[in-house]
Structure 1
Amino acid sequence: MDTSMIKGLAIGAVSVVALSASGIVGYKTLVRPSYAEVLAVKDIKEKVRTPREECQDVPVQKRAAVEDRNRIAGTVIGGVLGGLVGSQIGRGGGNTVATIAGAAAGGYAGNSIQKDMQNKDVVSTVEHRCKTVFDVSEKIVGYDVSYRLDGKEDHVQLAYDPGNRIPVKDGKLVLEPPERAK
């Protein structure tokens, strides 16, 4: 064989190998998937506590204000009544002793009765009372997505629900929401 023929065959063989390789690369580029298949989407949730004020009217009983703190009215009325009862007992000097003793016992009894009455004397009112309560709710903060790309399964977290497929560009997932993807 002639050297020019050998050179031609060598150049031809190299050209065929180069064209075949570029064809394979071009084919792989053409058959590269443009989407990854979504297998499952799971919500990522977060609990949110929202404060609010809750008010209600509550009936309240308070001890009434005491106008006669020393219970003078009860002591005087009891003393007068006790003195009248005591004056009905005995004659002469015994009558005076019985009247004084009756007045003293009546004064003490009147004071005690007024004290009990004052302790039981209450005033009913309604108070408006408020407190902070928390409502608990769940908020979706993202999505855990399982997908298949080129026969391999994997997962990724996204801020949006991708539906049933995720766009792929240059063999990589496009993770931006579709309206922002360029």
Structure 2
Amino acid sequence: MEQKQPAQVGIIMGSKSDLNIMQDAADVLKEFGIAFEITVVSAHRTPERMFDYAKAAAGRGIRVIIAGAGGAAHLPGMVASITTLPVIGVPVKSSNSIDGWDSILSILQMPNGIPVATVALNAAKNAGLLAAQILATSSEELTGKMQQYKDDLKKKIEESAAEVEAKS
């Protein structure tokens, strides 16, 4: 992806098959004008690549990492153990998954000292929003965009409520 500014968010996934889920995070970041990079990094099949990615991310300007993984889902936790950057884990319901519970628990049950923020199963959109909120703590412009997003959500619900109430 060609960008004018250096990436602030790294989106990584354990397999190319996770891209259909992880694209939601990329779409949110695009909506907020946040530069990102996206790649495949497998904790199990390419541990050296994972280690190198996690070690070098901050030096490239990455400020938040979103890591999606299915099955045993060790990628978010292993990356969090290597970097000081905040890591947001996206459990992905993969073809070899036990209804996604294996992924959820693998990411959620991190030991003390290695935190990973975990979103719901396949909820890469929320991961993108959380990354935007983290970055907004040091950007008034991004804070304004986030507030507008929340205001728009509120407006949609109010419109839905009025529509439902009008039919009753």
Q: Which has the larger radius of gyration?
A: 1
Q: What's the TM-score, normalizing by structure 2?
A: 0.18
Structure with more contact order per residue of length (Cα contacts < 8 Å, sep ≥ 6): 1
Structure with the higher helix share, 1 or 2: 2
Of Structure 1 and Structure 2, which has the larger fraction of its residues in strand? 1
TM-score by structure 1 length?
0.17
